[in-house]
Chain A
Amino acid sequence: MSHEAVLHSHDSHGHDDHAHHETFLSKYVFSMDHKMIAKQFLITGMVWAVLGGLMSVLFRLQLGYPDASFPWLESILGKWAKGGQITPEAYYALVTTHGTVLVFFVLTAGLSGTFANFLIPLQIGARDMASPFMNMLSYWFFLTASIVMLCSLFVETGPFSGGWVAYPPLSALHDASPGSKSGMDLWIISMALFVVSSLLGGLNYIATILNMRTKGMSMTRLPLTIWALFFTAVLGVLSFPVLLSGFILLIFDRNFGTSFYLSDIFVNGVGALSNEGGSAILYQHLFWFLGHPEVYIILLPAMGMVSEIMSVNSRKPIFGYMAMLGSLFAIAVLAFLVWAHHMFVTGLNPFLGSVFVLLTLLIAVPSAIKVFNWLTTLWRGNIRFTPGMLFAIGFVSLFISGGLTGIWLGNAALDIHLHDTYFVIAHFHIVMGVASMFGMFAGVYHWFPKMYGRYLNNSLGYIHFWVTLAGAYMIFWPMHYEGLAGMPRRYFDFSIWESFKQFAELNRFISTVAMIVFATQILFLINFFYSIFKGRKVTDLNPWKSNTLEWTTPINPGHGNWPGEIPEVHRWPYDYGKDGVDFIPQDVPVGANESSH
């Protein structure tokens, strides 16, 4: 049987694509080239990042200036900002959509969608993904999900407003809130489409990394980016289906009179509901069984890219490659075992809770290993402070500051005091939100020359970095303080409580900084789109003097990546400063009297 032929038939399909005449549609829209799909993910993700960021600016406006009236708001939001003040319903909708969009569309699809698509084939030495068609479908499901979510913003009763976690009964009962009507239906459809998209993508990434590596690219010669993206894909493939099951049960509760999550409920104006026997905690379990791995789906790609960028720009091998691998694996496993630490105060069995505390605190070990390895990679390195490198260092800084508060929140006893306060907001925004954003920025600055054949403007990059880093700390650091004082999250207006009046100034400060930081991101967007067309052209095949395979392709690689044969790999990707040589790319054969690494 021509089994070998089957195994390698996909290798050849890249070649014949060069000759094709490409139309606009086939090149930019229905593209099956992984590089183009990556750009599609990136740009869709950026659109959502702007929308999601804008939402946060709007609700920060409310929190910072609860009494002020902004007539221009009414012209944008219409009835959701009667008299220039955001209504409570609109506020909740903004908070919910901000969370959903940023977590799923920007930091999952935008981050791992972009860089998994872009980097996996280039860095492992493959002509494309295992199944380019599924890859295209993955993007189109994501785009459909995006469009449905966008539509939900415009329905009569408003988008879903029960928090991005969509806990029942708010999500299960049509009468629970205005957003629980058709807004919730669209939300859930959008999320279901998103799950399909991430499954199609994830299966593809796994199969590609396992099956399509070029000759000599053994698993221990993979760049850490690829390892991180691999674990990300595994996490997604195993945890998203659980969310899907949870959502299917939720749909039945909403529309077919079941009571999986509902029991003993009284709705004002409707009366007691007949639902009996369900358990709202069940939904939370199902949701967080995805929700916690989701945190690492967001973080791991950033970690991988940061490891790569740090090593390249320190001109030093990554410190502790195997330890990095082991800690990635440990984080991926632990990600599945700790979900209930989000539920310490929901009526979870306290004994079970203490088991979850133990497992949660274990995450500190691999996280610390990674942090120390990053720091020791920098130690005595010949550091080049490119914007990409700065963002990578910023990632480590944020990961440490946000990770430390995770140890507080992982303790059930402390969590009873801190849960649902701004302390939690500060924690997860720093460690997961802003840190992953930094990883994403680092990746964009670092691989932009490969994506578009041009450089981003460095000066704008430095401004972008310093304002964003300082701004992120100025926004979220005070929130720890507010949270310790008991200020609860998701509240519309704090000015009516005597005890929170003292924070009015601080809230205004946070809101102002948030607006400045948001404006700085516009600077980045300008830089990005300007540089695509007008940026300084890349003339050097390997501008960062990096070892990985993507820099052996032409400056603007076509579909199929390498015009000739795919290079063979002879060494790991971190031979920097070895035997006095600045860098030795992976495709350079091992010399006769070269020391082994």
Chain B
Amino acid sequence: MSNVTTASTKEAKWWNGGKSPFDVEYGKVMMWYFLMSDAFTFGAFLIAYGTVRFSTNGWPNPNEVFKSYPFAGEGTNAPLVFVSIMTFILIISSVTMVLAVHAGKMMDKKGVVRNMIFTIIGGIAFLSCQAWEWNHLHHEGAWWGMNPFINADGTASTTNFTNFFFTITGFHGFHVFSGVVINIIMLIMTLLNKFEQRGHYLMIEKAGLYWHFVDLVWVFVFTCFYLL
């Protein structure tokens, strides 16, 4: 019981003004709320995709669409392989980002630089994978408004499968791209000792939030397009 009362008095103090109720600076509050709003952007896309899928009788089987990987011969049948590589790339780059943020908290410039470089490499690798996949699908005749694939039950498919795929992965890819750009800026600022001078690496933390969000969105995009 005593625990509860102390907690509530502490809380009341947080909201009393003169300081942040969350004990974070305003930039981080803004970043969180920006990510909330971005979550609604992606949410709206994915829910729109779900709605159209629910209102259509047939839908292509993702395993018959995404079944190739770079340097594989034509007619390769390896569903889920390439996309799982992409997923792991993004997870690992997220891990290096956490490590960079952690190094920033420890004021360890070297650690920040090293991990930021890994994160940027991961981001670029992911973008390259996506570029390859888009290119591959485009060669198969898929694009906005063009769908060469047929439904799982053998009936003709509408173009909405590819429409949504390219729009949503494209929008996600755009976020990855801007994340990479932000990370590169952060890296340059770190190398220029900007954060050492400020005495804190809070910018890295905010860039990290954005990067993890990109990873988070991929968790949903990956599941919705490749697994379900």
In the complex, A touching B (Cβ < 8 A): yes
Using a CB–CB cutoff of 8 Å, the interface residues on chain A facing chain B are: 1-3, 5-7, 10, 124-125, 130-131, 134, 199, 202-204, 206-208, 210-219, 221, 237-242, 244-246, 248-249, 252, 256-260, 276-279, 282, 285-286, 289, 569
From B12, B158, B200, A3 is in contact (CB under 8 Å) with B200
- Chain B interface (Cβ within 8 Å of chain A)? 12, 15-22, 25-27, 29-30, 33-34, 36-38, 40-45, 48, 51-52, 55-56, 105, 107, 144-146, 158-160, 163-164, 167, 171, 199-200, 202
Known contacts A208-B26, A257-B145; A277 and B51 CB within 8 A of each other:
no
Q: Are A203 and B167 in contact (CB under 8 A)?
A: no
Indicate which residue in B29, B44, B107, B145 contacts A206 across the interface (CB closer than 8 Å): B29
A211 touching B25 in the complex, CB below 8 Å, given contacts A249-B48, A258-B144: yes
Complex: chain A residue closest to B160, CB-CB: A277
- What are 16 A-to-B residue pairs whose CB atoms are below 8 Å? A2-B199, A2-B200, A124-B17, A125-B17, A130-B26, A130-B30, A203-B33, A210-B26, A213-B17, A213-B18, A216-B18, A241-B38, A245-B42, A252-B167, A260-B48, A286-B48
B41 x A245 contact (CB < 8 A): yes
- Let me know if B37 and A237 touch, CB within 8 A: yes
- B43 proximity list for chain A (CB < 8 A): 242
Whether B44 pairs with A241 at a CB distance below 8 angstroms is yes
How far apart sit A131 and B144, CA to CA, in the bound complex (Å)?
A: 39
CA A199 to CA B105, docked complex, whole Å: 30
Q: Is the CB of A7 within 8 A of B202?
A: no
Whether A218 and B16, one on each chain, are in contact in the complex, defined by CB atoms closer than 8 angstroms, is yes
A240 touches B37 (CB 8 A): yes
For the complex with contacts A207-B30, A211-B29, A237-B36, 7 further pairs of A-B residues with Cβ separation under 8 Å are A124-B17, A131-B27, A208-B26, A213-B17, A259-B163, A260-B164, A276-B158
Residues of B contacting A134 in the complex (Cβ-Cβ under 8 angstroms): 30
Task: Name the distance in Å between B159's Cβ and chain A's nearest Cβ.
Answer: 6
Q: Are B41 and A244 in contact (CB under 8 A)?
A: yes
Q: Is the CB of A260 within 8 A of B52?
A: yes
Q: Which residue of B lies closest to A125 (CB)?
A: B17
A252 to B56, alpha carbons, bound, how many Å? 20
- Residue from the list B25, B45, B51, B56 in contact with A245, Cβ < 8 A: B45
Q: Are B25 and A256 in contact (CB under 8 A)?
A: no
Q: How far is the CA of A131 from the CA of B33 in the complex (A)?
A: 14
Which A-B residue pairs are the 10 nearest by beta carbons? A277-B158, A257-B145, A215-B18, A217-B17, A245-B44, A213-B17, A241-B41, A130-B26, A258-B163, A242-B44
Q: Residue on B with the closest CB to A214?
A: B17
Which chain B positions have C-beta within 8 A of A214? Answer: 17-18
In this complex, what residue of B is CB-closest to A233?
B33
Q: Contact at B199–A1, with CB atoms within 8 Å?
A: yes
Report yes or no: B15 in contact with A219, Cβ–Cβ below 8 A.
yes
- When distances are taken between beta carbons in the complex, the residues of chain B under 8 Å from A248 are 45, 167, 171
A-side contacts of B33, CB under 8 Å:
202-203, 206-207, 237
**Contact partners of B146 in chain A: CB under 8 A:** 257
Residues on B with C-beta less than 8 A from A219 are 15, 21
Residues in chain A near residue B41, CB distance under 8 A: 241-242, 244-245
Whether A259 touches B26, Cβ cut-off 8 Å, given contacts A242-B41, A286-B44, is no
**A166 CB, min distance to chain B CBs, angstroms:** 16
Which residues of B have CB within 8 Å of A289? Answer: 44
Give which listed residue, A6, A207, A286, contacts B29 with CB less than 8 A.
A207
Contact A131 B160 (CB under 8 A): no
B31 to chain A, nearest CB (A): 9
Chain B contacts of A246 at CB under 8 A? 44, 48
Q: Give Cα A285 to B54, complex, Å.
A: 14
